[in-house]
Amino acid sequence: MPVIHVDLDAFYVSVELRRRPDLRESGVPVLVAGTGPRGVVMSASYDARALGVHAGQPTVRARRLCPDAVVLPPDFDAYAAVSANVMAVLHGFVRRVEQVGLDEAYLDLAGVPLRPAALGRLIRLRVAEEQGLACSVGIGPNKLVAKLASVAAKPDGLREVTEDQVRGFLRPQPAAALLGVGGKTAEALARFGLHTVADLADTPRDTLRRILGAAAGDGLHALSRGLDERPVVPQRTERSLGHEHTFPADVDDPETVRRTLLDLSAATAARLRAAGLAGRTVTLKLRFADLRTITRSRTLPEAVDLTPDLHAAAVGLYEALGLRRARIRLLGVRVEGLAPGGRPQQLELGGREHGWSEVERTVDALAARFGSAAPRPASLLRSSLRNGPGGGNHAPPPLVHEARSTPENPR
């Protein structure tokens, strides 16, 4: 049964351009990136990529390569909300959808009467019409081939690889295109003259086992021949979700730390709700100026997906450390022990009928439409006003942070 892989093109940038038509019409390259001296590129428009800019690259280098680019800070609340909308579109076509991060999904075509290519074209049309986003679609006999086909279709295209085309499609590909071949593995293979999928396919399995070990050697031997038995697993459960923020300059102000933890908690809670998840264990991560890194965790009585719950736990962990003017380089908030969310809220006697859960879900919907113009926690707004023109002398750095998701990192 064929598999479809849907990949949203330059997702973070595309969301920004959707709500900034002036940038789309100007035709200037756009980057979503951290703007401080330690910032990195998270997404780049294709005209910026043509100049050598890519995700994971330091922002300062990207600016040198593409000096005319507009650099925008990430808005993960908006990205999570838009991702949830796109996944709802995909669920309208098939019963089994495996989401991978915010911007990718595999679709199992069992029980679908349409031909795969016709379904792929319909998906692309529907995502464009309903969400204003372009996506590339790959179709193959398994997840490996479908994923590589969507890469070949980028940007904004469709590529179908049939069973009898798999060998010819895979053999010219670089070895690094295969699942599990990272930088170190590629270097190890290159030392033996193995650079392409064809090189791997023509190498005896025992040789690959000697080079890489039994498990990795067997895996690459199968993949190089286009064999991939991984099923499409609907509603894949993440092991953890979270956000991190690297400060442009080390900070030692407890109020700045608490405010940053509020921003990180809000972003993490929004992603939990977008994924329909909640978690019991909240983990705080701190990296100090000397690069020493520590984590502290707390398990809550019940799973949560709301900002106040996450923020209270994270601040409690921070204050329990008793840090006195320790200079902090990075903060992170992560939630583990994930399970399906949407827990009912117990009403208090004489309390409001609608609680904080409804408030945050309303904000989620506004963020999907308006992005950074949507409501934010009042303390963050007050800090912006207080440290604006004519404000205090210790304005905090912009809260630009990076999403973390295990086992997959969205981008």
Q: What is the pLDDT of residues 251-309, one digit of tens each?
A: 999 999 999 999 999 999 988 888 788 999 999 999 999 889 999 999 998 999 999 99
pLDDT band at 388; cut points 50, 70, 90: very low
pLDDT of residue 90: 93
Tell whether 384 is covered by a domain: yes
pLDDT of residue 77: 80
Poorest-pLDDT segment among 86-100, 122-136, 331-345? 331-345
Residue 177's identity, in one-letter code, is: A
Question: Could you tell me which of 136, 134, 131 has the C-alpha nearest to residue 78?
Answer: 131
Residues 216 and 308 in one domain: no
Rounded to the nearest angstrom, the gap between the alpha carbon of residue 33 and the centroid of all alpha carbons in its chain is 13
Residues 332 and 382 in one domain: yes
pLDDT of residue 324: 79
Whether 311 and 351 have beta carbons less than 8 Å apart is answered as: no
Residues recognised as catalytic:
104
pLDDT of residue 38: 83
Residues 394 and 323 in one domain: yes
pLDDT of residue 338: 86
Residues 72 and 186 in one domain: no
Residues 340 and 278 in one domain: yes
Tell whether 108 is covered by a domain: no
Residues 216 and 305 in one domain: no
- Interaxial angle between packed helices 214-223 and 205-212, expressed in degrees from 0 to 180 and rounded to the nearest 10: 130
Tell whether 173 is covered by a domain: no
Tell whether 1 is covered by a domain: no
Q: Domain tally for the chain?
A: 3
pLDDT of residue 366: 52
Indicate whether 44 pLDDT > 90: yes
Indicate whether 387 pLDDT > 80: no
pLDDT tens digit string along 314-324? 999 999 999 87
**Helix or strand holding residue 303 (H, E):** strand 293-304
Longest dimension (CA), the chain: 74
Cα separation, 92 vs 112, whole angstroms:
11
Q: What is the mean pLDDT of residues 131-138?
A: 96
Indicate whether 343 pLDDT > 50: no
Cα separation, 409 vs 103, whole angstroms:
11
pLDDT of residue 341: 67
Indicate whether 385 pLDDT > 60: no
Cα separation, 382 vs 363, whole angstroms:
18
Q: What is the CATH number of the domain that holds 214?
A: 1.10.150
Q: What is the Rg, in whole angstroms, of the alpha carbon atoms belonging to the chain?
A: 23
Is 7 a known ligand-binding residue?
A: yes
Written as six digits, the tokens of 374 are 């949507």
Residue ending a domain, among 49, 76, 103, is 76
pLDDT of residue 27: 87
CB atoms within 10 A of CB 25: 9
Question: Could you tell me which of 293, 284, 290, 296 has the C-alpha nearest to residue 327?
Answer: 290
Whether 261 and 318 have beta carbons less than 8 Å apart is answered as: yes
Tell whether 81 is covered by a domain: no
Written as six digits, the tokens of 165 are 């085309």
Helix and strand counts by DSSP (H, E) for the chain: 16, 13
Q: What is the CATH number of the domain that holds 68?
A: 3.40.1170.60
The span from the first CA to the last CA of the chain, in angstroms, equals: 29
Of the two residues 24 and 384, the one the predictor is more confident about is: 24
Q: What is the pTM of this model?
A: 0.65
- Please classify residue 272 by burial: count the beta carbons closer than 10 Å to its beta carbon, then call 0-12 exposed, 13-18 middle and 19+ buried: buried
Poorest-pLDDT segment among 235-239, 341-345, 350-354? 350-354
Residues 250 and 309 in one domain: yes
Residue ending a domain, among 196, 223, 250, is 223
Residues 219 and 266 in one domain: no
In this structure, are strands 41-44 and 30-33 parallel, antiparallel, or unpaired? antiparallel
Residues 209 and 256 in one domain: no
pLDDT of residue 35: 80
Residues 366 and 251 in one domain: yes
Tell whether 163 is covered by a domain: no
Share of the chain above pLDDT 90, in %: 64
- Please classify residue 322 by burial: count the beta carbons closer than 10 Å to its beta carbon, then call 0-12 exposed, 13-18 middle and 19+ buried: exposed
- Domain of residue 34 covers 12-76
Question: Could you tell me which of 78, 77, 37, 81 has the C-alpha nearest to residue 58?
Answer: 37
Indicate whether 153 pLDDT > 70: yes
Would you list the DSSP string of 30-94? EEEE--STT-BEEEE-HHHHTTT--TTSBHHHHHHH-TT-EEE---HHHHHHHHHHHHHHHHTT-
Residues 312 and 199 in one domain: no
Question: Could you tell me which of 238, 350, 234 has the C-alpha nearest to residue 305?
Answer: 238
Residues 206 and 301 in one domain: no
Is 218 a known ligand-binding residue?
A: no
Tell whether 82 is covered by a domain: no
Q: What is the CATH number of the domain that holds 338?
A: 3.30.1490.100
| Average pLDDT value for the chain | 84
Tell whether 301 is covered by a domain: yes
Question: Could you tell me which of 334, 271, 269, 270 has the C-alpha nearest to residue 304?
Answer: 269
Would you list the DSSP string of 332-380? EEEEEEEEE--PPPPPPTT--SS-HHHHHHHHHHHHHHHGGGS---HHH
Contacts of 184 (CB under 8 A, 6+ apart): none
Residue ending a domain, among 223, 256, 278, is 223
Indicate whether 40 pLDDT > 50: yes
Give the three-state DSSP class for 183: helix
